[in-house]
Amino acid sequence: MSRLFGTDGVRGLAGLDITAESALALAQGAALVLGRTARQESRRPVAVVARDPRVSGEFIAAAVSAGLASSGVDVLDAGVITTPAAAYLVQDIDADFGVMVSASHNPAPDNGIKFFARGGRKLPDAVEDEIELALAGAPLRPIGAEVGTIRRFSDAEDRYLVHLLGTLDVSLEGLHVALDCAHGAAAGVSPRAFADAGARVTVMGNDPDGLNINREVGSTHLEQLRELVVSSGADLGIAHDGDADRCLAIDADGKVVDGDQIMAILALSGKRRGRLTDDTLVATVMSNLGLRVAMERHGIELVQTAVGDRYVLEALREYGLALGGEQSGHIIFSRYATTGDGILTGLQIAAEMARTGKPLSELAAVMEVYPQVLVNVSGVDRLGLRGNQPIADAVARAEAELGSNGRVLLRPSGTEKMVRVMVEAQEHHVAQSIADELAELVRAELAVSA
């Protein structure tokens, strides 16, 4: 039996994979597990429920709220807000848990349900498994005065906005920022945050209709924002995804500044101002080799984790560190947030520009981006990768050829019959050649028989 929870909650096609019935049942299971401490303390559990603006979020969030209230949980309905805002609010009001209805950067027909534990932290696998097991049992059936309430969280966005502005130690006055809100949850709060911080703001992707979320806009479609930055003469562009837990940037010339470069900028800023704990940054194994080289050059240690922001979070907590993230733009400031926050990240990039007086292109130049080639080899036995000697030998030869000027990474997909071959080198043609050779070997060695 396949696991219900994926790498970031439960996700699928709304109305087919995620129905009103399944959302209600999942909420009842979550109430049983995540509300346990409150019941042991003889008090009513409290949960924050929020969603992004995709049209299916309305019925899914309603079903989640119904499932929680029918299980004796008091629900605070925060409406349309970002995922990091939902996590912050759980922590801010000391709620027992939170639920975010969103499929992040996915298109509008998809949706998802993710949970936050007390303190606004993502659930560990063991707790998700416990919720899945709870679905097979009988739900809680309170009656009368024990039934939960559903109330509007009226100041949810304002609380989050005050929090964001409180992270800044410099005004953004004089900066012109172009924002792409992906027709998503950031459409309301992100322009307010930058404007209130003093910036001049030009906005696109801020007209959500429930169906256009992430459609040709946002952090996975940067073309229009690049054009807007150049045509409007903006100093920088900030692109969010549908639930605004990630951020990519555009410099004044229209060049993309990815998550690795953003981490490099913020890590150096943090070290200079004494805010980078132990002068250490956390990133995943997919981060560009140029990030490691830049960090070594500036005396910053780089801790690398498996791919996924949950693993970055685990490392930040385990070692008590301040900053980490992914190449995709999930940047986590543990001092201010319990998850990746695209608006917070954008504000901190702009603040560093204001603080130093330097353009984004100059700040990003601290890191040389090594050419990176990724080849997805599909239709293969991904589980056979481990222990395959011919492939291991070929990787070793490639690593010896590249030396300290490149690296090789082979990763089996977590869900598909696929192996991802990633090669970095100082020259693109070298990376491409090695990646193609390794991909052909993987295809031959791990072919799935008909």
Residues 353 and 386 in one domain: no
Residues 432 and 348 in one domain: no
Q: What's the domain count of the chain?
A: 3
Residue 241, marked binder:
yes
Residues 302 and 395 in one domain: no
Residues 53 and 93 in one domain: yes
pTM for the full predicted model: 0.91
- For the question of residue 104 being annotated catalytic, the response is yes
Does residue 222 lie within any of the structural domains? yes
Q: Residue 424 — φ and ψ, nearest 5°?
A: -120, 145
Q: If you write DSSP's letter for every residue of 78-127 in order, what string do you get?
A: EEE--HHHHHHHHHHTT-SEEEEE--TTS-TTEEEEEEEETTTEEPPHHH
Residue ranges, the chain, pLDDT below 50: 1, 450
Does residue 161 lie within any of the structural domains? no
Between 289-297 and 259-272, two packed helices, what is the crossing angle to 10 degrees? 10
Residues 342 and 412 in one domain: no
Residue 49 Cα to chain centre, angstroms: 19
pLDDT of residue 2: 65
Give me the torsion for CA of 126, 302, 331, 114, rounded to 10°.
-10
CA distance 5 to 10: 5
What CATH code is carried by the domain that includes residue 74? 3.40.120.10
Catalytic residue among 22, 56, 104, 287: 104
Give the torsion sign (CA, 345, 346, 349, 351): negative
Residue 104, marked binder:
yes
Which residues span the domain enclosing 240? Answer: 166-364
Which is it for strands 176-180 and 236-240: parallel, antiparallel or unpaired? parallel
pLDDT of residue 449: 66
pLDDT of residue 3: 80
Residues 348 and 386 in one domain: no
